[in-house]
């Protein structure tokens, strides 16, 4: 059985984080391994507290695990602190060097929870950028793309600039900027390195109505990582991951008191923050 490794925070509700990653890996017939980067105190509506794991423990988890098995793909989620991010980068140095096949890495650059709680301290953004140089794919949402590239992602032109920046400036092989924070059906943008250029492709989605505000981005990156672990090429893996999430959203039932995205306060706040960030970048 193929192996996918999740390097992520713990979500006690199981709606996101390492718990959700392992569930998704299993559902796609991939064995899931996990390295915990942060503990959280949260319910389905709010993150109450974030506690980064000791960076040395994160590094030890990675070194011991990677000595024992080589994953077929890696998904990186919440990193919480600069020290944790730096130790993840150090630990990934344990991966087999060339001529061994390169292990695909998918990074979901989570900066904040759906309720706005920070999940990576600001000084950790530089270490996150270094990790992106290893990435096969980076999957930011519009707000994360704007924050990490200083592009105005309220426009298609700005979104294209951000998608290209993850590849041409930060060194990822590809980026998928998720457009679910906009009103209407989601429209994602895939940017892929092709020789010395970057190709762009818009991917249209469907309006899913009332859906949980948290965990969809986590699910997408995990599903893509699972398909990469199975040997699927990048673009078909992205398409398969998007289908997986769309199918899941059609059949989802909200648990607990989770807020709803798209039509309620949480979704509107995220879109407003993205617009405000774009206005500030134009000044």
| 188-214 pLDDT, tens digit each | 999 999 988 999 999 997 665 555 545
Output the domain CATH number for residue 123.
3.40.1190.20
Cis check for the bond before 148: say yes or no (omega within 30 of 0): no
pLDDT at 281 over 80: no
* Domain-located, residue 203: no
pLDDT at 254: 58
pLDDT at 267: 39
* Domain-located, residue 29: yes
pLDDT at 43: 93
Q: How far apart are CA 127 and CA 110, in angstroms?
A: 13
* Domain-located, residue 192: no
* Domain-located, residue 159: no
β-bridge pairing 47-52 and 73-76: unpaired
Range with lowest mean pLDDT among 64-73, 111-120, 179-188, 205-214: 205-214
* Domain-located, residue 230: yes
Range of the domain at 62: 3-153+210-282
Q: What is the pLDDT of residues 118-136, one digit of tens each?
A: 999 999 999 999 999 999 9
* Domain-located, residue 189: no
Higher local confidence (pLDDT), 190 or 249: 190
pLDDT at 219: 94
Distance between first and last Cα of the chain: 52
pLDDT at 279 over 50: no
Average pLDDT over residues 261-270: 37
* Domain-located, residue 202: no
Q: How far apart are CA 121 and CA 229, in angstroms?
A: 30
Average pLDDT over residues 102-131: 96
pLDDT at 275: 46
Average pLDDT over residues 37-43: 96
pLDDT at 1: 95
pLDDT at 144: 97
Average pLDDT over residues 233-249: 94
Average pLDDT over residues 233-259: 82
* Domain-located, residue 166: no
How would residue 269 be classed by pLDDT, with cut points 50, 70 and 90? Answer: very low
Average pLDDT over residues 100-122: 95
Range with lowest mean pLDDT among 11-25, 80-94, 169-183, 269-283: 269-283
What burial class does residue 36 get, using C-beta atoms within 10 Å of its C-beta: 0-12 exposed, 13-18 middle, 19+ buried?
middle
Number of structural domains (the chain) is 1
Q: Which residues contact 198 (CB under 8 A, 6 or more apart)?
A: 163, 164, 167, 168, 191, 192
Neighbour count for residue 184 (Cβ, 10 Å): 9
pLDDT > 70 fraction of the chain, expressed in percent and rounded: 83
pLDDT at 283 over 60: no
């Amino acid at each position: 059985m193929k192996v996918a490794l999740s390097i992520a925070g713990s979500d006690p509700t199981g709606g996101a984080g390492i718990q959700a990653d392992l569930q998704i890996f299993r559902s796609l017939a991939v064995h899931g391994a996990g390295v915990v980067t942060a503990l959280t105190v949260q319910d389905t509506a709010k993150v109450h507290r974030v506690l980064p794991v000791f960076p040395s423990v994160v590094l030890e988890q990675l070194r011991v695990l990677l000595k024992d098995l080589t994953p077929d793909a890696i998904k990186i989620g919440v990193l919480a602190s600069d020290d944790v991010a730096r130790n993840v980068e150090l630990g990934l140095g344990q991966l087999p060097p060339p001529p061994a096949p390169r292990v695909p890495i998918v990074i979901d650059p989570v900066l904040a929870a759906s309720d706005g709680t920070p999940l990576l301290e600001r000084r950790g953004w530089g270490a996150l950028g270094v990790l992106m140089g290893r990435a096969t794919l980076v999957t930011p949402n519009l707000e994360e793309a704007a924050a990490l590239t200083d592009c105005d992602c309220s426009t298609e032109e700005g979104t294209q600039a951000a998608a290209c920046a993850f590849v041409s400036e930060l060194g990822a092989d590809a980026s998928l900027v998720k457009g679910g924070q906009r009103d209407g059906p989601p429209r994602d943008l895939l940017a892929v390195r092709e020789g010395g250029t970057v190709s762009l492709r818009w991917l249209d989605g469907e309006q899913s109505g009332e859906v949980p505000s948290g965990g969809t981005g986590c699910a997408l990156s995990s599903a893509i990582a699972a398909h990469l672990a199975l040997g699927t090429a990048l673009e078909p893996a992205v398409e398969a991951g998007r289908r997986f999430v769309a199918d899941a959203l059609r059949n989802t039932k909200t648990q607990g008191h989770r807020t709803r995205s798209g039509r309620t306060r949480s979704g509107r706040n995220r879109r407003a923050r993205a617009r405000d960030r774009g206005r500030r970048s134009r000044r």
